[in-house]
Amino acid sequence: MTDTKTGQQNSAGGGAGRASVVLGGGLAAVLLAAVGATGGWLLAGEDYTPAGDPLAVATTAGPSTTRATAPRPSSGRPTPSAVQTSATPTRGAGLTVPPVIGTDFEQARDTLRKQRLGWRLVFGGGTGRTVESTTPDVGTEVARGTTVQLQVAGPAPAAEVPDVVGRSCADAADELVDEGLYPRYVSGRVGKVSRQEPAEDGPARWNDQVSIWCGSDGQPTAKPTP
């Protein structure tokens, strides 16, 4: 009886042994794979973080506060070209036309500047300095560098003409734009300003042009010989 049981046990043990060999081989493969994966993470460095989903910035443009306005009679004054920022227009995450309706047009311009947006002022025939509408509408998603047109209720107010003679042409242009004026380059855009019209404190209104002569003695800058 003892031999029989022993034989049965040996027989069963042999099957279990073969099963253990098979299972052992599978476990070894799994363990090697796990070690390989861990090794890759370690080789990547301690600061490595598995890439996750990119942060999504949800932007919801609220209802536009822009109100429709009837076309205003032309004042006969030329509409200046759009003032562009130096930034290349690029899509900004969540950048929209700010709520400038009802604000003073100078304040609205400064708001656009802070967000690196360009602006164009269009004055009307009513009264007041407030912005009545914008193009694109308030709340519209825009790219940095986009020009926003501001429709102002009243006519263009008086502007102060700065003295830009002796300044570099670029600095003179920046100062004129700051004052609500626009440079008209008579003799190129290189060199210092030798002359301007109107002169300092001359009569002018917002969006007026100021002629400036840049270069030596107001003469056109010589073009390089090809």
Q: What is the pLDDT of residues 25-49, one digit of tens each?
A: 444 443 333 334 333 322 233 332 3
- Residue 3 within a domain: yes
Q: In what order do the strands lie in the sheet with 193-197?
A: 182-185, 209-214, 193-197
Rg (CA), the chain: 37
Q: Are strands 131-135 and 90-96 parallel, antiparallel or unpaired?
A: unpaired
Strand partners, 197: 211
Top-confidence residue, 67 or 168:
168
Is the pTM here over 0.75, yes or no? no
- Residue 66 within a domain: no
- Residue 157 within a domain: no
Work out the average pLDDT over 140-159: 97
Q: For all residues of the chain together, what is the average pLDDT?
A: 72
- Residue 102 within a domain: yes
Tokens 């210092």, residue? Answer: 192
Residue 71 pLDDT > 50, yes or no?
Answer: no
Q: Are residues 174 and 144 in the same domain?
A: no
Please state, for a pLDDT cut of 90, what percent of the chain lies above it.
53
Work out the average pLDDT over 148-176: 97
Q: Provide the pLDDT for residue 69.
A: 42
Instruction: Using alpha carbons only, give the angle 208, 211, 213 rounded to the nearest 5 degrees.
Output: 160
The DSSP annotation for 60-106 comes to: -PPPP-----PPPPP-SPPPPPPBPPSSPPEEEEEEE----TTSBHH
Work out the average pLDDT over 174-182: 96
Domain count, the chain: 3
Q: Provide the pLDDT for residue 94.
A: 83
Q: Are residues 94 and 146 in the same domain?
A: yes
Tokens 């003179």, residue? Answer: 172
- Residue 52 within a domain: no
Instruction: Give the end of a domain, one of 119, 152, 185.
Output: 152
Alpha-carbon dihedral angle through residues 123, 128, 132, 138, given to the nearest 10 degrees: 100
Q: Are residues 180 and 205 in the same domain?
A: yes
Please state, for a pLDDT cut of 70, what percent of the chain lies above it.
54
Rounded Cα distance between 34 and 165, Å, is 75
Strand partners, 133: 151
- Residue 62 within a domain: no
- With the C-alpha atoms ordered 37, 41, 43, 44, is the resulting torsion angle positive or negative? positive
Top-confidence residue, 112 or 92:
112
Per the structure, the complete domain to which residue 138 belongs is given by 90-152
Work out the average pLDDT over 127-136: 98
